[in-house]
Every structure is written in C-alpha cells, then in structure tokens.
C-alpha cells in the first residue's frame, strides 16, 4: 500500500470563540463554508494557529466533532494533538480517529523541553494508540525542543504511519532527511513568507496561515512551486509580501479573527491573553 500523502497545501484554521469565551459552533460551520468556497483542499485543525494550548482537552475534542460535522466527508482534516502530557496527546489522537479526521499532526510538548529519548517515547505512545497517518511537527521556537535527525529517522523506521514532517527548526536538513527516508517522505513548512525558498531546499508543501485571508493566492503559489515554476511563484509571493509582513507584525491570529468577524463569519470573541486590534492596528490595516 502506498504511504499516505498529505495535501501539499492546507490552511491552518483559527478557533472561533463567542464573546463569552465558549467555542463558536456556528462560526466553525461558516468558516468551513468559506474555505470550501475558496477551494481550500485540506484543513489543519487545532494547531498553533488554532490556539491548541489555550484549549482544554474537552474543548479540543468538541472542536474535532464540530468541524467534522461541518465539513464534507471528502475534505481532509489534519488534527493537531500535541499536549504537555502524553496521556492527553494519546486521548486526542484517539478522538481524532473516532470523530473521522484524516490524519494527525503531532507536535512536541511545549515548555518542558524533553530529551530526545523522552520525545521519542511520547511519539511512540501516540503512534501505538492510533492507526491514523502522522505528521510530526518540529517547531523549536514555540516548544523549546528540537527533533534531531537521528531521532526522526528512528521513529519513521519504527512507525511507517509517520509519513511527513512539518519542519521549522532545520530547513537546511531536508536533503539529509530525504536521503535517509526517501523522496516519498514529505517535508512541509508552516511559514508562508519563505515558502519559495523552502521549496528550493526540497520542501513538498505548506500548512498556510496566510491562506485564511489569501486562500486562492497561496494555493496558486504552492501549485506553481509543485510544478517547478519557481520564478512565477516567486513573483506572486513577492506581490503579496508587503501585506503578509504587515499582518504578521500585528499578529496573524488576531488579524484573521478581526477579518472574519468583520465579514460576519465568526462572532469575534478573543481568548486572553490575545486581545482585539488596537485603533492604531486597525488604521494600519486600512492603509
């Protein structure tokens, strides 16, 4: 059987909140319709952009259920199951399977900075608890932990369901990863502004944050990169960069929430410590 292939382009969803800090269920349904209307081929649920670590385990399971109910069966859902406690990550992975999600993205526990051995045990426990395909997520900036190449290779060889790595820590290691694990092993980025450079290094795809507000444009860029049209993709990205850099400087989650609320897609509640945009930030967006 051929290994599972993650879509080369997916959009990392925010989690919509009501003004009383509860999950905005109708907002989830409207968001899914928005993504479908804009030809988004796959969604990343409850990742960093979805504020996974500000959500309780029960809230995350509820979100899994809501999104699967809102999304058509053919829309792939990749579900973030990272947790500080291994048993929580196991439960989340099992619930992702039970609620009909397509695959999981397994990031590493933030803040606790496990050793390579401890991180491997964490991954092994989750992989042993579910048959879903797995994308590991190496993001040292957010977690304080860096997955070493030897650990990755050992895990992939032990658990063939690990078919992809979302890599933000060592983009220059892609060639070595491909040499060890083969060309079919996918490497994805989560950084929109550097995606043309990353494809040149050997990356295969993007879980896009900017795709929330520029879904068609980012999809076109990834499709061009996938077909070898690097120069054309670079020109399209260059045209978007001033906007992307401005929005990133304000804060993507806050900007997306502000935009979706203004369009009537979500209620527009915020979960502290994140806050609504200031008047100055709103003015910058209008320029």
Q: In angstroms, rounded to a whole number, what is the distance separating the alpha carbons of residues 287 and 283?
A: 7
Residue 166 a catalytic site member: yes
151 is in an annotated binding site: no
CA 42 centroid distance within chain: 10
Asked if the peptide bond before residue 68 counts as cis, ω within 30 degrees of 0, the response is no
Q: Residues 9, 64, 122, 137: which is the catalytic one?
A: 137
Contacts 24+ apart (CB under 8 A), 273-279: 274/51, 277/250
DSSP symbols for 93-132: HHHHHHTT-SEEEEEPPTTT---HHHHHHHHHHHHHH--S
CA 183 centroid distance within chain: 22
Q: In angstroms, rounded to a whole number, what is the distance separating the alpha carbons of residues 130 and 135?
A: 13
Which residues are CB-contacts of 9 (< 8 A; sequence separation ≥ 6)? 40, 41, 42, 205, 206, 208, 211, 218, 219, 222, 223
Q: Residues 9, 78, 97, 166: which is the catalytic one?
A: 166
Residue 97 a catalytic site member: no
| Positions at the binding site for pyruvate | 49
| Positions at the binding site | 49
- The catalytic residue positions are 137, 166
């Amino acid at each position: 059987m051929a290994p599972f292939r993650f879509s080369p382009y997916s959009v990392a969803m925010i989690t919509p909140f009501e003004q009383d800090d509860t999950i905005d269920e109708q907002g989830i349904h409207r968001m899914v319709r928005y993504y479908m209307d804009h030809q988004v081929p796959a969604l990343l649920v409850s990742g960093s952009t979805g504020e996974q670590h500000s959500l309780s385990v029960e809230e995350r399971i509820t979100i899994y259920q809501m999104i699967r109910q809102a999304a058509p069966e053919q829309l792939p859902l990749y579900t973030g199951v990272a947790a500080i406690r291994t048993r929580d990550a196991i439960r989340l992975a099992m619930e992702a399977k039970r609620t009909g999600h397509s695959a999981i993205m397994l990031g590493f526990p933030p803040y606790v900075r496990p050793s390579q051995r401890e991180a491997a045990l964490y991954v092994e426990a989750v992989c042993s608890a579910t048959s879903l395909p797995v994308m590991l997520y190496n993001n040292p900036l957010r977690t304080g932990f860096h997955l070493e190449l030897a650990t990755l290779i050992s895990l992939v060889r032990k658990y063939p369901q690990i078919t992809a790595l979302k890599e933000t820590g060592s983009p220059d290691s892609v060639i070595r990863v491909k040499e060890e694990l083969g060309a079919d092993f996918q490497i994805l980025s989560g950084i929109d502004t550097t995606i043309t450079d990353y494809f040149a290094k050997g990356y295969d795809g993007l879980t896009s944050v900017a795709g929330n507000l520029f879904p068609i444009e980012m999809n076109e860029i990834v499709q061009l990169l996938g077909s070898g049209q690097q120069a054309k993709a670079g020109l399209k990205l260059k045209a978007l960069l001033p906007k992307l850099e401005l929005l990133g400087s304000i804060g993507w989650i806050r900007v997306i929430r502000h935009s979706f609320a203004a369009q009537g897609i979500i209620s527009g509640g915020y979960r502290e410590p994140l806050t609504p945009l200031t008047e100055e930030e709103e003015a910058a967006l209008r320029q």
